[in-house]
Amino acid sequence: MSKSVKAALFANGVIAIAKGMAAFFTGSASMMAEAIHSTADCGNQALVMLGEKQASRGRSEYHSFGQGKANFFWSFVVAVVLFLLGGLFSLYEGFHRIQDPQPIENPLLILGIIVLSILLESSALRVALKESNSKLKDIFSTIKHSSSSHILVVLIEDSGALLGLMILTLGLVLSEFVHPIFDGIAALMIGSLLIGLSSILFIELKKLLIGESLDRQTTKQIKELIKEESNVLVHINAVRSMFIGSNEVLLIISMNVKDDATGHEIEQDIKELKYKIQTMLKEHKMQIYVDVFEF
């Protein structure tokens, strides 16, 4: 199980309890929205863990390429939970509080919970960034290009949680010093944020579920490696790929070889090409198959 998922589950568990207690004692709609958000995140981490466990079962009679796509499926369920339980409930809380604005009790308690939450969420986000070999400034690029569904979920959840806490802080200040209606407005903003983030997760996971390929630049690098390293190649017919799990790739290469190449030479050539491709793409676990035709 990945460290980022464990860190996120621990952080969200503590935060959900703290936010729930704060919402109960203060009557804040935006804090209740955040409590539901963190509770949903805990369930999401449990689903991601379930996906990782199923994906680790490997090949079987009925799953000859393994069950790596279980990660994608359960992460997609996470997006649904984030959308329904997190986003829509927060919108409901916001509309309800705007219609009947009430002063927030014990605002200092909310402020303390916000500080605790920021510390815990930041720590979980750092673990996820480290695991994905990324930096905070590159987080959008990482989300766009990552094939690791649990990294996608944790990065989107943790970054969304921090943005939600900023909105919560702004709503608390305005509600306390301007008008209580801003508590409901903050809850609406948090709900809209969660729906937006879940939509991003929908889009990224849909690409993986229906069979996303390696990017064009990586495919070009594979073709160049084959041309430079193969001793029997005449022509590359096709290079096709598909993600079949988190950072797990099915790669199929079709190529024509010299008609005077012996079976042993072709076999050794393919073996060396597979090793060199895997070495070049060491961040991925490769399943490589090569179709060879004499030219």
The pLDDT tens digits for 201-218 are 888 888 888 888 999 999
Token duo for residue 198 = 């879940």
Residue 1 has pLDDT above 70, yes or no: no
HEC profile of 27-42: CCHHHHHHHHHHHHHH
Residue 294 has pLDDT above 70, yes or no: no
What pLDDT sits at residue 116?
Answer: 87
**pTM higher than 0.75 for the full model?**
yes
What pLDDT sits at residue 95?
Answer: 87
Token duo for residue 41 = 């995140």
Residue 167 has pLDDT above 80, yes or no: yes
Alpha carbon distance, N-terminus to C-terminus of the chain: 47
Token duo for residue 196 = 């937006």
Pair 49, 1: CB distance under 8 Å: yes
